[in-house]
Amino acid sequence: MLQIIAELCGGVGLFLIGMTLLTDSLKSIAGNTLKALLTKFTANKFKAMLSGIGLTILVNSSTATTVATIGFVSAGALTFAQAIGIIIGANIGTTSTGWLVAFVGLKFSISMFALPLIALGAIIKLLCKDRLALFGLVIAGFGLIFYGIDVLQAAMAGFSEQSDFTLLAYSGFWSKILLVLIGVVMAMVLQSSTAAITATMAALASGAVDFPQALFMVIGQNVGAVSITVLSVIGASINAKRTVAVNVIFNLVSAAVAFILLAPAFIALTQQVAYFQDFDAVILLAIFHTAFSLMGAAIFMPMIKQLEAFVIRILPDDSPSILACLDETSLQVPSAALQSARQVVHYCLFEIFSILRLLIKEGILPKQKQLDELDQVIAQVEEYLEKIALVGHSELKKSFLALLRVMIYVRVLRSDLEHMEYGCLLRTQPMVYQLALDYVHIIDNYMEYGMNLTDLELISHLRDELNNLKKWTSNHRAEIRLKLMEYSEVHQLSAAKGLELLAAQRWMDRLIAHSYRFSNVLYESIDEGH
């Protein structure tokens, strides 16, 4: 018996390692495909659902799809309503693994092919780089998955000979509940509903459990999958919690309806209809698993708006903050994390330019609380950028480095705010003040909050106008300085006051120069991305 348990654990372990290799490598190969699928093909709820199905099949993981969705909702690239459609689709897409196991993994003894696949994948990983190396891990992952299934099936065959599951009959209500709870525990222990369902399929194929028992265990495994996502968002942003709440509601309601209606219907079909009595039980289980998710989609797709309103009501956002974008779960999808960080960096820029606008036009200094909050956001986004891992994501490295360069100028422009008193002082000097107003006029035209700072043409115009202003200040610097000195003499200002006026002029010159360099860096980063 101990040997059988060891084989069971080993089979599950091989399967999980294979799934991890396969999923992580496919996510890396997909790169910006994650973003493209989730942001371009979600115009309506049905397209959002289809995107969720397609992406989950692509990366072989509903968790990866959920995490990516959370990240892009946090970054503002997706609405919460779009996210609901994607989550529903992800639950349907994840059933594809069950079909693969039913038709391939349990129909043939493929261990003799699985081991060469593992070897081939390892060789490609060692000899190649970038995407080819990742493709090697995909091949090795497939090999490990099927080898793990083969080990698991053999162990289940031995387990069925030495175990008696007649106590887990499905005739009574509490027996069904017990089977569901077993499924929940399996998914929680294995941290994967796919692995738990695969183990159930292997048990069914070997006779360790019968078809009705397997149905109720699968219901429990879908519920158990919810606990994995719930644990992943403890302490996460409100957007992450809302997205996971949708997943929880979807799975719990679907499980309840499947328990009451769908499972009894499938049992009745296999017991009373001759055609289904001869049907392969493992394939019927895969059909049930898909029907489970399709039924949930049929329930929730017509009422997405109501579901959205309900989730927002039970999880209100009491403290709206740009820091909600910096969701830790998004770090698992670098393209989502990068977009989240970019949005926060742009927010910092808009905040700095808003402060400068009020300072120069109205003479209003910001409150210390506003500056402290800005410093907190800058510090948080810098920490977040340090956590973004881009191993195997060479196509994102340019964008990442470009964002770091922009971040440097966020810091430079923030340091210019340390001498904001000069902004009030230059308002007393018509010539310098006109220069400051020209600067603010340019900022007003191009740096309104919500504008697209990835628009090449927009940033090109901003750069040209700031460059022209910078050239003008360089050409007239001596003239302005002379007029300031004359003003000091005529009005008999103290030497200290005269020096302050000259310092205010230098501050304005630096601010224009720094803003131009920032626009130039932003332009170059967008141009490289194109």
Distance between CA atoms of residues 372 and 19, nearest Å: 45
Distance between CA atoms of residues 527 and 530, nearest Å: 5
Domain ranges of the chain: 2-314, 333-529
pLDDT, tens digit, 9 for 90 and up, residues 225-271: 777 667 666 666 677 778 888 888 998 999 999 999 999 999 888 88
pLDDT at 162 over 60: no
The CATH number assigned to the domain with range 333-529 reads 1.20.58
Residue 35's pLDDT is what? 60
Distance between CA atoms of residues 514 and 438, nearest Å: 15
Amino acid at 8: L
Contact 353, 374 (CB under 8 A): no
Counting other chains too, the contacts that 167-171 makes at CB distance below 8 Å and 24 or more residues apart are 168/209, 168/213, 170/212, 170/213, 170/215, 170/216, 170/267
Please give the C-alpha separations between residue 337 and each of 34, 317, 318, 373, 374, in angstroms, as whole numbers: 12, 21, 24, 21, 20
pLDDT, tens digit, 9 for 90 and up, residues 14-25: 767 876 776 667
pLDDT, tens digit, 9 for 90 and up, residues 389-440: 876 666 778 888 888 988 998 999 999 998 888 888 888 778 788 888 899 8
Distance between CA atoms of residues 300 and 163, nearest Å: 40
Distance between CA atoms of residues 12 and 191, nearest Å: 11
pLDDT at 318 over 60: no
- Cβ atoms < 10 Å from Cβ of 134: 23
Average pLDDT, the chain: 80
